[in-house]
């Protein structure tokens, strides 16, 4: 079950934010597989001064539209599944919202079932 934190510069409208979340969710469902009724996204819209990154990293130029996506998931996905997720998210965000692949950073954090509290047993 993923818990996703999305960080982007403030100023996008509600439709953009909704499409961003839905697109990421759909891409993750298609690639790393989890129950469809699971959706936990936290959106951080931050001031320009609080999005700190180099304009260029490893010969890739970044724009002011950088988006950081942090996915906390239970361990167990193969490297191939993770790579498929990265690819699908970046392709879908470009297709749906015009976000350049160069402006997307995705990080996965894995943990175990005992690291989650969802409801009393």
- Identify whether the C-beta of residue 89 lies closer than 8 Å to the C-beta of residue 108: no
- Identify whether the C-beta of residue 24 lies closer than 8 Å to the C-beta of residue 89: yes
Would you call 35 a catalytic residue per the annotation?
A: no
Catalytic residue among 2, 35, 79, 120: 2
Which tokens go with 16? 């953009």
Q: For tokens 């304009």, what's the residue?
A: 55
Catalytic residues: 2
């Amino acid at each position: 079950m993923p818990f996703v934190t999305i960080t982007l510069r403030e100023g996008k409208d509600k439709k953009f934010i909704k499409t961003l979340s839905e697109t990421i969710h759909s891409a993750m469902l298609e690639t790393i597989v989890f129950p469809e009724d699971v959706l936990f996204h936290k959106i951080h819209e931050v001031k320009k001064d609080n999005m700190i990154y180099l304009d260029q990293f490893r010969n890739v130029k970044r724009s002011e539209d950088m988006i950081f996506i942090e996915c906390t998931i239970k361990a167990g996905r193969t490297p191939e599944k993770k790579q498929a997720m990265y690819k699908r998210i970046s392709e879908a965000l470009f297709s749906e919202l015009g976000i350049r692949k160069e402006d997307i950073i995705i990080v996965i954090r894995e943990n175990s079932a005992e690291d989650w509290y969802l409801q009393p047993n």
